[in-house]
Structure 1
Amino acid sequence: MSELDNTFDAQSIALSPLSLDNDEQKPEYWTDDGNGWQDGYTLRQRVYPDGQCEVSVCKDRHFVGAAMPLKPRAKRGESDKRESNDDDAGRRAKKKVRECCKTIGADRLVTLTYRENMVDRATALKHFDAFRRRLGKVADFHYVAVIEEQERGALHFHIAVRGRQNYVLLRSIWQRVLGLGPTGEQMGQVNVRDPHRFGFGQTGAHKLASYIAKYCSKQMDARQLDQKRYFRSRGIVVPDVYTIRLHCTSMLGAVQAAFTVIAQYGLEGIQTWCNNGLGVVWLASAPRSKGLDMSCPF
């Protein structure tokens, strides 16, 4: 009988031991000699300050035995797998943006746009830097931002923030940064949307993190090697992830383990993703109180 360690909760909340074994037997092709490649499932949990919880279970293979020699790494930008590496970097950036958004409890999306067709990335970043510096002098501004390039080449910024925003202040600072056009017209605009505008509902603020994270890889083919995919304010400390190696031997057991853990944080408004071929299940709960008495739905 295998059980989860009851010491992995980030908020030091005692969890009762959870049985995840279901009387499963190890397949014959699994080795028991303690060396070589071992197959298994690994559960990872991250709990955010506002009660959001993410749980993922992945089928993986880990090596037990003497360390294998490392292969020499290519210099930055010289790898013959540049396209594949760039895709991996995009996925890591999306994950980091999602984690940072949930850490600050982002529930609003601010969009900074241009009246003209702004295509100069360096100039746009100077405008954004001036905007966040000026705003930081008059308000506590914690943010996670990404820059999007539309098909026609126009650039604009998506900024995830927490709480109600002073729309007049945001618009005045952004327009002051950009200045006036040749005929005195304003050269920029600001739009602020809450989760309801995206159809996420009252308990769907956590879905905003996934929404903004998609821009990290969208239309990024023209991005240069050293160009950042996202920007964030200082002081965002993402909670630690807690890892538990499971003893289940099937994808059903992995999914049940994931639901058993996340059910303690509520199943209403939960986000789910599962790929049986890859052996991966991912769950994310909405912001709410912990310790709810809920159970796995199957």
Structure 2
Amino acid sequence: MTELDYERDIAAIDFSGAPAVDQYKPDWWSDDGVKGTWQDTYVARQRVFPDGQTEVTVCKERFFVGAAITPSTRTKRGESEKREANEDDAGRRAKKQVRLCCKQIGADRMVTLTYRENMLDRELALRHWKAFCRRLGKVAEFHYVAVIEQQERGALHFHVAVRGRQNYVLLRSIWQRILGLGPDGQQMGQVNVRDPHRFGFGNKGAHKIASYIAKYCGKEMQCRDLNEKRYFRSKGVVLPEVRSWRLPCTDMLGAVNAAFAALHGHSLNGLQSWCNNALGVVYLATEPGLLLSSESCPF
């Protein structure tokens, strides 16, 4: 399949025929278009990444018909009574961005930068990280998505998602040179590289590795202030645009059918899926590569 054929297949997706049977309209469903009321609909969204990975999400959403509702007065940053809930929301958003960035760069390995001592100073650790990126960037092209993690004992270290085989000796020498030697001449840092097979996801499990790395963003960090970042990424990581459709379906079966229809042209091997009927959400994520002729939608 050529790139032209691939783009033609993607552009030809038609969601209008997704529901295969007459659908029952629940009591809570409102689509009469009356102004001043809330309407319910399913919306499909799709991202296609450079290596053929794609993510499709179908969500049940509510929207207001009529003039915009006057928003309530917003409190100052950090003074909201829902601080804990807002932090949870921010953590979920950060996890999503890390997952998407990892897929965009095609990350298939994870580099971990650790300290020999119990590093508790976040500001100092970030200075070490910036120095590491600056020195490595002088000798090699370095695209990454990095997350700083705090262990239960408080120690900080970095998880870095990268693509392709890494020069382990170079990474270790730069990191150890930045940290220097201890009072007894011992090295104060270490670098570990996890190859794809060590994740247990196989050679095409990049879409699963992305979710694995993103989980570190959701962990609470006592040393992180409100305005401090949860993750870091190299310059030039631009996420693909989101294609979206409003669907005519009124139940989860139609939403699932539409989600699988959006995967036309992509491989279904190693498919990641998640569905919640109560929330009205369907999530599908494919591995790198295109659809094989022997594969077909199970619905």
What TM-score do the two structures reach when normalised by structure 1?
A: 0.92
Q: Match of 1:265, SS?
A: coil
Rounded to whole Å, the distance in 2 between the matches of 1:201 and 1:291 is 18
Q: Secondary structure at the match of 2:229?
A: coil
- The answer as to 2:12 corresponding to 1:15 is yes
The alignment-based identity, stated in percent, is: 67
CA drift at 1:25: 4.5
Q: Are the counterparts in 2 of residues 113 and 189 from structure 1 also a CA contact under 8 Å? A: yes
CA distance 1:44–1:16, change in 2 (3 Å)? closer
Are 1:160 and 2:158 matched, yes or no?
Answer: no
Give per-residue Cα distances to partners, 1:146-190, cap 9 Å, x unaligned.
Answer: 001000111110000011100010000000100111111111110
Deviation at 1:33, TM superposition (A): 3.7
CA distance in 2, matches of 1:131, 1:280: 41
Q: Return the letter of the residue paired with 1:111.
A: T
Residue 111 of structure 1 pairs with residue 102 of structure 2: no
Evaluate the alpha carbon distance shift between residue 178 and residue 33 of structure 1 in structure 2; reply closer, same or farther with a 3 A threshold.
closer
Distance in 2, Cα, partners of 1:11 & 1:49? 12
Structure-1 residue corresponding to 2:173 = 172
Aligned match of 1:240: 241
Residue 40 of structure 2 is matched in structure 1 by: 39
Coordinate RMSD, CA, aligned: 1.9
CA contact (8 A) 2:265 2:290 kept: no
Which aligned pairs between 1:263-278 and structure 2 lie closer than 5 A?
A: 263-278=264-279
Corresponding residue for 2:3?
none
> What does residue 90 of structure 1 align with?
91
Once the two structures are TM-superposed, the CA of residue 45 in structure 1 deviates from its matched residue by 0.4
Give the TM-score taking structure 2 as reference length.
Answer: 0.92
After superposition, the C-alpha distances for 1:197-218 in whole angstroms (9 at most, x for unaligned) are 0111122111111011111111
Q: Offset at 1:15?
A: 2.1
What is the rounded CA distance, in whole Å, between the counterparts of 1:16 and 1:138 in structure 2?
A: 44
Per-residue Cα deviation, 1:121-157 (whole angstroms, up to 9, x for no partner): 1111111110010000000000000001000111110
Q: CA deviation at 1:257?
A: 1.1
1:200 aligned residue: 201
Q: 1:109 to 1:178 in 2, by over 3 A?
A: same
Cα displacement string for residues 5-58 of structure 1 (whole angstroms, at most 9, x for unaligned residues): xxxxx9564325342132225445524144321111111100001110000011
| Cα 1:292/1:282, change in 2 over 3 Å | farther
| Paired position in structure 1 for 2:256 | 255
Aligned length: 290
- Written as runs of structure 1 = structure 2, the 5 A alignment for 1:112-151 is 112-151=113-152
**Bigger shift: 219-228 or 103-112?**
219-228
Distance 1:284 1:93, change over 3 A: same
Consecutive unaligned residues in structure 1, runs of 5 or more: 1-9
Taking the aligned partners of 1:11 and 1:176, their CA distance within structure 2 comes to 48
Q: Note closer, same or farther for the CA distance 1:292–1:220 as it changes in structure 2 (3 Å cut).
A: farther
Do the aligned residues in 2 keep the contact of 1:51 with 1:290 (CA within 8 Å)? no
**Residue type of the alignment partner of 2:266:** Y
